[in-house]
Amino acid sequence: MAVLSYLHQLLNVDQCQAYIHTLRWQDRPLQCPRCQSYHVGPWGTYHYQPGLQRYRCKAKGCKRTFNDLTGTLLDGSKRSLPHWILATFLLCLSCSSRRIARELGVHGRTSYRWCWWLRNTAVSYETDRQLEGTVEADELYHIAGHKGQARQGGPKLLGRRPRCRRKQCEPGRGHYDKDRPAIIAWVSRQGAVVIQATKDFTVKTVQKAADLAVQAGSRLYTDSASSYRAVKGYMHEFVNHTKKEYARGDGHENRAECLFSLLKPYLRVFRGLSKCNLPGYVGFFQFLRNVRQQNACEQAELILRAALDPVIASRARRGEFVRCLDHFDLLQTAIN
């Protein structure tokens, strides 16, 4: 029997409270989250969460109490702040929700819910990202089925036999209906990336994806796939892989292919994906790539800072930041 089973038992609760207080109010003065009044004062503490300071709004007609977590993603949680901080940290180290449940000592469903809330919060940094300059693009087809989609639990009503030893890859292009949706990566030579999960890889989809991800007039390097060749609005060059041409002068897409060599092991951790969760996973990986210069602790702080914003928190709980576009027809991340 180990003396200490969980790392969060070493964290100081008061220090965590002070940290969360600083994160929430660092760029704005302490104010009432309901009527936005600055006329507030301390008002005791709570029994169920030691260390959590309670405040009372002194404005006329409000007089309600609140704390540092009111309206945020962490509001109403029965678990302590050390649990949340450690969960966010582990998520940035690309742990699965089952792994986090084990390391934290919480139920698997709790950590699954937290993980998706936190991933959706992280994606809020990525919604308006558009690349410029020289951009490389490449596509990948990833197997994604109906994992966890059974409504009543037990055997899944899929309308087909279970695959047992996973889906075998057929040659040719994948498609959403064939359980192999496409993932398109746009990699700027300046370092930023945009990754999109799409239903198919037609000219129309690629054009829409390019319009969203890359600024018009940028230089685009791709392979010789016909969908890329039809894309308009960019200075476009391509290398012909069928003729064993992988680079022509400055024109190559090795960064995009390298990105997939990082994305594949990241996704493998989850041991199979559902296709409606694919945009969420891909979006979070995009966030991790775009803040890769920072360590996991700083990345976790970015996520927590967004989670403590009531507007972002309520949208993240509903999964609104994950790209859900009609032409992609990918289902939104469904939580609860």
| Residue 38 or 246 having the CB closest to Zn ion | 38
Which class for 12: exposed (0-12), middle (13-18), buried (19 or more C-beta within 10 A)? exposed
Quick one: which of 173, 175, 220, 176 has its CA closest to 194?
220
> Minimum Å distance from CB 70 to Zn ion?
11
Nearer to Zn ion, 62 or 325 (CB): 62
**DSSP string of 254-309?**
HHHHHHHHHHHHHHHTTSS-BTTTHHHHHHHHHHHHHTTTS-HHHHHHHHHHHHTS
Cβ of residue 175: shortest distance to Zn ion, in angstroms?
A: 53
Query: 58 exposed, middle or buried (CB, 10 Å; 0-12, 13-18, 19+)?
Result: middle
Q: Which is nearer to Zn ion, 66 or 114 (CB)?
A: 66
Provide, rounded to whole angstroms, the least separation between the CB of residue 278 and Zn ion: 42
Starting at the edge strand that comes first in sequence, how are the strands of the sheet with 235-239 ordered?
Answer: 193-198, 182-188, 134-141, 219-223, 235-239
Q: What is the smallest separation between the CB atom of 161 and Zn ion, expressed in angstroms?
A: 59
Least gap, CB of 62 to Zn ion (angstroms): 3
Minimum CB distance to Zn ion smaller for 30 or for 297: 30
Count residues binding Zn ion (CB under 5 A). 7
Q: Kindly state the smallest distance separating residue 74's Cβ from Zn ion, in Å.
A: 20
Query: What residues numbered 7-46 form the site for Zn ion, per CB under 5 A?
Result: 32, 34-35, 37
Asked whether position 335 contacts Zn ion by CB under 5 A, the answer is no
Residue with Cβ nearer Zn ion (40 or 184): 40
What residues contact residue 242 under an 8 Å CB cut-off, 6+ apart?
Answer: 224
Q: Which is nearer to Zn ion, 13 or 35 (CB)?
A: 35
Q: Is 311 exposed, middle or buried (0-12, 13-18, 19+ CB in 10 A)?
A: exposed
Positions 48 through 87 that interact with Zn ion (CB under 5 A): 57, 59, 62
CB of 81 to Zn ion, least distance (A): 24
Do residues 73 and 117 lie in contact, with contact meaning Cβ atoms separated by under 8 Å? yes
CA-to-CA separations, 35 to 60, 61, 68, in angstroms, rounded: 10, 9, 15
Specify whether the CB–CB gap between 67 and 46 falls below 8 A: yes
Is 35 or 212 the residue whose CB approaches Zn ion more closely? Answer: 35
Give the residues lining the site for Zn ion (CB under 5 A): 32, 34-35, 37, 57, 59, 62
